[in-house]
Structure 1
Amino acid sequence: MQAQHTYQKPGLGCWLKAVWNKLAEEQEWRGLASEDRHRIAQDMALSDGDLAALVRNGGGSAELEELLARRAAAGKARLAPELLRDMQHNCAFCAERPECRDWLATNESAGAPAFCPNREVLAPQG
């Protein structure tokens, strides 16, 4: 029996916890020396500005994880690891994340919405 994956909008308690965690992350980020932040960015193959934006805006991993879980539940082949890094980058900097969350909450299909920058990779093929 396969587990059903459905994205649900978080309630108030989840939202408050997320805000609290976000504030703690930002405080920790600001507490790092600039050379440490730069080294972390280099390790992740990101610019300093891109890494700062990720910390500020979050990484989009929940949305990508849900899309990948739906793909796997549909019996599609695993994606090559080298694709995942690009997909994570696309999700992290996607301006459509609120729309993506809404789409996930109202649509249970495998694949991705038309506005998704990873749509071609996630498309349920053969």
Structure 2
Amino acid sequence: MAVLSTGPIENNAVLGVRPTQLLTVKAVCRNTVEAVSMTIQGYVLGTTRTLYVNEVLNIAPNEVVTRNYFADLDGFEFIFTTGSADAEAVGISVWGKQSSGQLVDAHRVVERENTNRDA
């Protein structure tokens, strides 16, 4: 099993507005023959760590899947889990966005920046 994490992302308000209100996750299946399965878990980080997103995706060969999640929170973390055979076939990126859709550079996590948390 492969487990990847964004790590904790701080999203404190500046002048009453948090930099990121929406989080976009893009996942690509590079396998040309078989689909892959991936679990996405999102956690609110406060005085406790609370699960608020729990979704299982089945991604077809060569398919790109986009999911948008609420992120107007002081802190959050996303964890992505795939089967060990699927680990090399899946690419994941995470993009923080303002309510207008503008990207928040500080809240961008691309494939090579995800933290590997071996299960």
TM-score after normalising by structure 2: 0.23
Q: Which has the higher strand share?
A: 2
Q: Which has the higher helix share?
A: 1
Higher RCO, 1 or 2 (CA under 8 Å, sep at least 6)?
A: 2
TM-score after normalising by structure 1: 0.22
Q: Which has the larger radius of gyration?
A: 1
